[in-house]
Structure 1
Amino acid sequence: MVKRWRQLAVWLHVLTSVGWMAQAMALCVLLATGLAAGPGTEQDAATSMALVLDGRLLAPMADASAFTGIMLAAATPWGFFRHWWVLIKFVITMVQLNVGIFLLSPALNHAAAAGPTPWQVAGGALMASAIAFQGWLSIAKPFGRVRPQQRTAPAVGPRWIFVATVLGGLADLVLAFVIGHPLPLLSLALIGAGLSRRRTRASLRPTAATPG
């Protein structure tokens, strides 16, 4: 059952990551359409749809993708800082979330009134490209270990972590769709529990005896 729930957690991570990329591409197309149309009804419609898309789909998918990725790293031997491909994905995800929250989303509100800018179109394209690169990292797993000499790894987490990842991620997606914007309170609480569990497993890991 642990394996089955872990597979479901991976499935949800892949699904939300692809959804995040698809919505970023759609956002880029809508903003580009509004920019090309110029002031008028078509631009207003394009930017209004972009704003709704960001709140109801793109941002919730981004949160769910990040949440499931963090939980999988915390609950599996892959970890956060053991392999370069995981570390790079983690850094890119954190940068994207912060840029989206503090730059792109406020800019969309401005675009709804003043029209989109070329920088917003480029931002959507870069976001989709970064997620596509992360997908390649997940498949190719390049660059090896961060510390090649480190061989021991924590065991796979218990079933409840993967159950919580799947159900918590789906619950936050439904809530975001209902209220119109992400509110990942459950996801944040579960991340805290998952990271705490990982620290506990690391502290209980047996260490090799010191010679002499």
Structure 2
Amino acid sequence: MTTDAYLHRPRWRRVVGGFWAQLLLAFIVVGLVLTFVAKPYVVPSGSMTQTLEPDDRILVNRLAYMGSEPTTGDIVVFDADDAWEVPSRAPVDPIRAALRWVGEATGFGPSGPHTLVKRVIGSPGQTVACCNQSGAVLVDGQPIDEPYVYNDFPFEAGTLDCRTTPRSSRCFDEVTVPDRSYLVLGDNRAGSRDSAVSCRSAEAREDCWRWASRAAIVGKVVAILWPIPRSAVLG
């Protein structure tokens, strides 16, 4: 386009067609996608080993539960409330704080201090207990198949189970999941501070449970993005 033709274009077209305007538009589009559609997150701990490893970059579908609800077996990212006792981060200098903000906003740096990744086991109104005679978790009285579980608590029927003294740490009493809440466990069962972490003893209090609230669920984990050798679509 010649200089004369450019100068005769309407002012708004010259502004919108400029480099900085297009760069701003690109940031806006990316921001909308990260906010409403999909966003990368960093796995903060080893509680989901071997399905997810610490520092894996995962993709979270933020639209997965529009018109539907999480179900048993879904891996979700959620913002933990105070009951989860997530340690707060120490103050950092302004430059590091800005870099951390960029990383959290894009998903390629550390996730927020209260963002956790767990697997949904029980939904509102369902009863969950552990264990049956084979050591399986029961949802509404039926054992669920959990091939993803790694590093489970020791359990041996008749020797170390839910009726022996001492009982297996795998066991917890039946509980009904409250409304708008979800019971979530880690795949690294013996290495996860999850919904049941304070409930795995015969002396556990009725209020030992901590829940992932429906309002706090960010979305469903659908893929591992990084590192490349571990990249995979998660069913």
TM-score normalised according to structure 2 size = 0.21
In terms of fraction of residues, the more helix-rich structure is 1
In terms of fraction of residues, the more strand-rich structure is 2
Instruction: Select the structure with the greater relative contact order (CA < 8 A; seq sep ≥ 6).
Output: 1
